[in-house]
Amino acid sequence: MATSAGAQALDPQATEALASTLKMLIDPSQRSAAIAGSPQATAIDQQIRSLTGSETLTQEFFALAADVFQEMTVATGGDADKMLQALDGARSNPSGFAATLSPATLERLRALSVKISDQKR
């Protein structure tokens, strides 16, 4: 994982929280349990599944989301306000946000978008 020059070391609590979040995103059973507890998360999960169209691509989507979340967390030093600012900025400037990702993660994003697009044809 690449980090920006401004990346800050995470404190032990942030490191533990990041590890828990990444595990939840990657592990389908943990993710399902977390989603089941929230009507909003259930609706978002349904949107993602509709977008991806398959369990394989859904899993790939969440694995990519975990990588993006990890990169963003490290780049912001785990500062939730900075993370929210980055996400808000991504809404109006997605290519600018994508430029902050590591080359490997950006390539995975491109590959996943092609797979999803090809599946929809």
* 3-state helix/strand/coil string of the chain: CCCCCCCCCCCHHHHHHHHHHHHHHHCHHHHHHHHHCCHHHHHHHHHHHHHHCCHHHHHHHHHHHHHHHHHHHHHCCCCHHHHHHHHHHHHHCHHHHHCCCCHHHHHHHHHHHHHHHHHHC
Total-model pTM: 0.86
Average pLDDT, the chain: 91
Q: Classify 37 in phi/psi space as left (phi over 0), alpha (psi -120 to 50) or beta.
A: alpha
CA distance 90 to 101: 12
Element (H, E) at 6: none
Mean pLDDT, to the nearest integer, of 8-37?
93
Q: Tens of pLDDT along 23-78? A: 999 999 999 999 998 999 999 999 999 999 999 999 999 999 999 999 999 999 99
Work out the pLDDT band at 8, boundaries 50, 70, 90: confident
